Amino acid sequence: MHPILKLIAQRLALGLLLLLAASVLIFAGTSILPGDVAQSILGQSATPEALANLRRELGLNDPAVTRYFSWLGGVLQGDLGTALTNGRDIAESLGGRLKNTLFLAFWAAAISVPLAIFLGLLAVRYKDRWPDKLISAVTLTTISIPEFMIGYVLIYWVAIKWRMFPSVAIINDSMTLGAKLNAIAIPVMVLTLVVLAHMMRMTRAAILNVMQSAYIETAELKGLGMLKIIRKHAFPNAIAPIVNVVMLNLAYLVVGVVVVEVVFAYPGMGQYLVDHVSKRDVPVVQACGLIFAAVYIGLNLIADIVSILANPRLRHPK
Amino acid sequence: MNDQLKYMTGQVAKGTMTRREFVGRAAALGVTAAVANSMLAGNAQAAAHEAPVRGGSLKIGSSGGESTNTLDPALTASEVPLDNLRHLYETLVEVDPSGSVEPRMAESYEASADAKTWAFKIRKGIQFHNGKDMTPEDVLKTMQRHSNEDSQSGALGIMRGISGMKVDGDNFIVELEVGNADLPYLMADYHLMIQPDGGMDNPGAGIGTGPYTLEVDEPGVRHGFRRNENYWDADNRGFTDYNEVLVLNDATARTAALQSGQVNMINRVDPKVAALLDRAPNLSVKSVSGRGHYVFIAHIDTAPFDNNDLRMALKYAINREEMVDKILRGYGSIGNDMPINASYPLFDASIPQREHSIEKAKEFYAKSGHDGSPIILRVADGAFPGAVDAASLFLESAKAAGIPLEIKREPNDGYWSEVWNKQPFCASYWGGRPVQDQMYSTAYLSTADWNDTRWKRPEFDAMLLEARAELDEAKRKAIYSQMGSMLRDEGGLILPMFNDFVDGVANNVGGWIEDPNAELMNNKAPIKCWVKDA
């Protein structure tokens, strides 16, 4: 077998094992939390009889281990089960949320990744001159401000004062692509500002590191222009660390944006997960946790493979 | 409201009768001044508007919605599901803005002389959204679903006193173990929404008799409702073609949505920004004093709170005016250590207001002989808005009286299952109930599940039962007054403030009236208001 295929197979198997471990951790974690789903549903209006009735119906009287394995059995057959709180099919309601999360993450990434890399290259080109300093100052400022604050500031100016884009980013299937993009405009701006600095700085650092090498000097001596050197000689050699940072940020865009979702009432997975954690709805928390873990593991896998492919020494091991 | 009062409010609106005259004459008809005033406010406002406009759509930005919500009335506990219920379903009777009972699915009702047997005459010719006729059997099945032994309903507690229910022709009959003059108020509970076959088969289907039918149901995101063309009371409710409830849990997101015109009304305006928001040109902030209250509760059967002198010291130490000023920003009123205020029928305004007094607090603290060990007050942000700040104010004023209060922050998560009603001293809130009997039976009866101050006094229980069956209002009022005073002077309830309901409403919304029962006109603003420029 080709060494790279073997490596991918190994990583995939390890990933599956990690997912299993994650599901055990999530299950144990939600079981430790105070209160159960019956209490959370009925809240302050819980009477002992109503609690007992609800617990019996939801099967909460079974031991935890039994509940975990019956859930695992379902998942292995592709059945995520139904939510304890409202009896809806988890795969169905989660599917819509996941689609929304990926939609927002895709557009934020589509704008921020090229922009970050471009700005990084620009900063290298004008190293220690005003464009470099300006880019660093602005992106470091936006990454230092909490994302909800950026959200509120943009809402105030863009949505309330200028009335350019809506402040509520609720989207649904009946909307056209244009309407959806209009709705998510401000959240995409916020996310772009939040992830820009990290990727930009890494691009800048990685390329500057390569720029110290002898072959760059050679390229300079044979009379190549600065941007061309960066594009043809420096960037391909700096790609591994950049891809790693890009993947980490993509993972953040998928699993870490709950605060932005709340501020813009965006129907993504983060809010969905938080609601179900606070209601102790274990099957839903498990399903969300699995997806989030899978996204992280998958993106890291891609980052590893890309860095191997980009490096001939790793591509052809002895 | 009876015809005489209706006529009189019209007179005031037209300007032929003064407010003072109205309150005086309303009192002659047995209406308290507070109720008369709120009645007047509501109707004068409504009369000032033009006639209802049909068509268009209203968008409501509401907190209190989660992706775990269902349309089953039995499991409804937060704001968005409540908005949904009011669109889709109706109860037998409702409590109207003036605090009296308004017949809905029942066209009339009457009680036997001992208030033990009640007959609700069910309105005819009403259809559910699925085309089926609404019958007394559906009513019976609904009530059974909320009270039988498999019930998971939040209304189970209030259904306990019922010994038998049956259908008799057009009537739905309720028999009680002990007479209860307030039974219609219990039947107005929002859980008790009439569903086809009582909702026995699919309680979350959203099929009811309400002015709107379900079109979109995405829990935690949005709920859309289309006007029910077949609605029986179309003259008074259901003016818009389409309504949408958007779940906006973040307070800033809600105000931004209202300011930028994306929604027509929002609930729970943060008192801190209410005055600023009101200055925006295209909207107004509406506040109405209600029965909800923010409290600090002590278990009177647990040391050191079993010592009434210590409880009195704490009650005198708390600075009520400061709390209303700083926590509610004036959107509320001071409390008197009893859960009843002027918004309740039969309230006795002659009970003296407890004043903040460091001297008296010191005096009672010395008398209590407390050993000086820290008195732990548990609090979380989720106990009520501003709870942690309120506790800090309490701590400071207690310190001035030499009382060693100590605050312990608890996480929001699990507060209601682990701290409230379990720990001996904590912060909490109550939403209030439409009548005194219900408030007292929910939290101050010896046998009540939510007796969160462990107030167990046989003589108090006896008075409650006596008042409940008493049809003479003057006598009831006297009993309630005595009960209130007793709680005020001996209870474990420290009640510094009653909070207002503060909503934000765009200027293009017509038909807004004050309703002290709950926020957004008792969650009925979406079905009772209209869009002026529709």
Q: Which residues of A touch B66 (CB under 8 A)?
A: 275, 278-279
Amino acid B44: pLDDT: 46
Partner-chain residue, chosen from B222, B256, B414, that has the shortest CB–CB distance to A167: B256
Interchain CB contact of B289 with A (< 8 Å): no
- The distance of B244 to chain A (nearest Cα, Å) reads 12
SS3 string, A43-99, reads HHHCCHHHHHHHHHHHCCCCCHHHHHHHHHHHHHCCCCCECCCCCCEHHHHHHHHHH
Q: Which residues of B touch A46 (CB under 8 A)?
A: 154
List the one residue out of B249, B205, B267 whose CA is nearest residue A272.
B249
Amino acid B26: pLDDT: 53
How far is B334 from B379, CA to CA, in rounded Å?
20
Amino acid B150: pLDDT: 81
Residue A187 near residue A154 (C-beta atoms within 8 A) = no
Q: Which residues of A touch B201 (CB under 8 A)?
A: none
Q: Which residues of A touch B156 (CB under 8 A)?
A: 47, 49-50
Interchain CB contact of B154 with A (< 8 Å): yes
Task: Note whether B69 contacts A50, CB cutoff 8 Å.
Answer: no
Token output for A304: 């590893």
Interchain CB contact of A311 with B (< 8 Å): no
How far is A273 from A279, CA to CA, in rounded Å?
10
Q: Which residues of B touch A35 (CB under 8 A)?
A: 414, 416-418
Interchain CB contact of B156 with A (< 8 Å): yes
How far is B146 from B198, CA to CA, in rounded Å?
9
Task: Note whether B263 contacts A86, CB cutoff 8 Å.
Answer: no
> Measured on CA atoms in the order A40, A44, A48, A49, is the torsion positive or negative?
negative
How far is B208 from B129, CA to CA, in rounded Å?
6
Residues of chain A where predicted confidence (pLDDT) is lower than 70: 1, 43-46, 317-318
Best mutation target, A58, A258, A275, to test chain B (most B CBs within 10 A): A275
Q: B134: Cβ–Cβ under 8 A, 6 or more apart, which residues?
A: B105, B122, B123, B126, B127, B128, B194, B196, B209
Amino acid A10: pLDDT: 87
- DSSP class of residue B434 equals S
Partner-chain residue, chosen from A45, A96, A267, that has the shortest CB–CB distance to B154: A45
Amino acid A315: pLDDT: 75
Task: Note whether B220 contacts A43, CB cutoff 8 Å.
Answer: no
Task: Note whether A45 contacts B263, CB cutoff 8 Å.
Answer: no
SS3 of residue B29 by DSSP: coil
- The distance of B266 to chain A (nearest Cα, Å) reads 13
- DSSP bridge partners of B287: B502
Per-residue pLDDT of chain B (534 residues; tens, 9 = 90+): 444 555 555 555 544 455 545 554 555 454 554 455 555 554 544 444 568 999 999 999 999 888 889 999 998 888 999 999 999 999 999 999 988 899 999 999 999 988 999 999 999 999 999 999 999 999 999 999 999 888 888 888 788 889 999 999 999 999 999 899 999 999 999 999 999 999 998 999 999 999 999 999 999 999 999 999 999 999 999 999 999 999 998 889 999 999 999 999 999 998 989 999 999 999 999 999 989 999 999 999 998 999 999 999 999 999 999 999 999 999 999 999 999 999 898 999 999 999 999 999 999 999 999 999 999 999 998 899 899 999 999 999 999 999 999 999 998 877 887 898 889 999 999 988 889 998 998 899 998 878 999 999 999 999 999 999 888 889 999 999 999 999 999 999 999 999 999 999 999 999 999 999 999 999 999 999 999 987
Task: Note whether A35 contacts B417, CB cutoff 8 Å.
Answer: yes
